[in-house]
């Protein structure tokens, strides 16, 4: 039993890789935004006696 993989045109592969890279950059930007939000908004609003929890959250 032999299976074959269809070949894609170079144009389609180029377009798909551009789309994938664009999505990857979007996810990276959203991740950095989430980290900044946690550091600047969420964590300072907590009490100082939760320093251990802050460090645990940032280690994720």
Give the list of residues 6+ apart from residue 54 with CB closer than 8 angstroms, or none.
43, 46
Domain membership flag for residue 38: yes
Using the CB atoms, write b or e for 12-25: b if 16+ within 10 Å: eeeeeeeeeeeeee
Return the top range by mean pLDDT from 5-9, 10-14, 50-54, 56-60: 10-14
* pLDDT tens readout for residues 5-46: 778 898 999 999 999 999 999 999 999 999 888 888 776 666
- For the residues 46-51, what does the mean pLDDT come to? 58
Domain membership flag for residue 45: yes
Domain membership flag for residue 7: no
pLDDT in the model for residue 33 = 93
Q: Is the pLDDT of residue 47 over 60?
A: no
Print the domain residue range for 25.
13-58
pLDDT in the model for residue 44 = 65
What is the total count of domains within the chain? Answer: 1
């Amino acid at each position: 039993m032999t299976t074959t993989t269809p070949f894609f045109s170079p144009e389609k592969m180029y377009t798909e890789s551009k789309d994938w890279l664009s999505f990857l950059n979007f996810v990276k930007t959203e991740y950095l935004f989430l980290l900044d939000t946690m550091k600047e908004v969420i964590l300072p609003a907590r009490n100082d006696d939760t320093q251990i929890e802050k460090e645990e959250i940032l280690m994720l």
